Amino acid sequence: MHKLLLSAVALGFSVSAANAAEMVVTPGGSWTNIPTTGLIAITSTQARNGNGSLELTGDRGRFAMAFDTPFTLSTVESLTFDWRIAGDSIAALNPDYTPALRLIVNDGSAVREMIWEGAYNGVYGSQTVPDTWYTTGAADKFYVGSGNENAGVSLATWASNNPTWTVLGISVGHGSSAGAGYHAFADNVTLTLKNGASTTYNFETAVPEPASWMMMIAGFALTGRTLRRRALTVRFA
């Protein structure tokens, strides 16, 4: 199993009852802003859980992370995230144009992207409200880049049909036709494996102060005891 799923230990806490871990990602950390015409940066403009989130602006952007140890797609259950369209966003494609979430894989012959976009998951229309946070679901559809966007299925289905594909990394971004006036946010990218383990990448402008960490650790410990008593499990997203 890749070491990022053990990130909670390095950060000083864990939630063994849920096999869940959170990695706080700060500027200059494990994620890289790939140079493009647009920009993605960790800012405090619209904090989600904590003091920050990813802010996406301009015509095209990518914020990516490569796994130190690649693993097979057969182990993957889902990939989700939180997204928000800014009220002042002017998208060239559609007013409801969402950020895109990508799982980067090698299919044995080439590196490809498995892509979540709102356009193929029924989020366009009157139900999409600017300046509102939304969370994607485990059953949402992903399509493979350079393929048929309308042939998307869940990551669990992709994993069942293509178990030997190798997972190389994750990226969050927006496409090359978003337009110069595009403005959105993203946070809490969560990778969940079929064994129930998950890692949430929480984008923050700074690591919480020690006192805040102690409060979080105490809260998670209490949650763990409660879950054991009730024989339940929970995933923090």
Q: What tens digit of pLDDT does each residue of 92-130 get?
A: 989 999 999 999 999 999 999 999 999 999 998 867 899
CA atoms within 13 A on the CB side of 198: 24
Beta bridge partners of 83: 134, 186
| Selected residue with higher pLDDT from 57 and 233 | 57
User: Where are the domains positioned within the chain?
Assistant: 22-208
Tokens of 24: 């706080």
**Residue with structure tokens 């070491």?**
3
**CA separation for the pair 52, 121 (Å, rounded):** 26
The answer to whether 232 and 52 are in contact (CB under 8 A) is no
From the candidate CATH numbers 3.30.310.160, 2.40.50.100, 2.60.120.260, 3.40.50.11310, the one assigned to the domain spanning 22-208: 2.60.120.260
The predicted pLDDT at position 19 comes to 85
* 215 confidence band (pLDDT: 50, 70, 90): low
**CA separation for the pair 234, 227 (Å, rounded):** 8
Local structure of 152: helix, strand or coil: coil
Burial status of residue 69 (CB atoms within 10 A of its CB: 0-12, 13-18, 19 or more): exposed
The predicted pLDDT at position 228 comes to 43
Q: Which helix (H) or strand (E) holds 219?
A: helix 210-230
pLDDT of residue 52 exceeding 50, the answer is yes
**CA separation for the pair 68, 4 (Å, rounded):** 8
Work out the average pLDDT over 208-228. Answer: 50
For residue 209, give every residue at least 6 positions away whose Cβ sits within 8 Å of its Cβ, in sequence order, or none: none
Pick from 137, 142, 139, 102: nearest CA to 119: 142
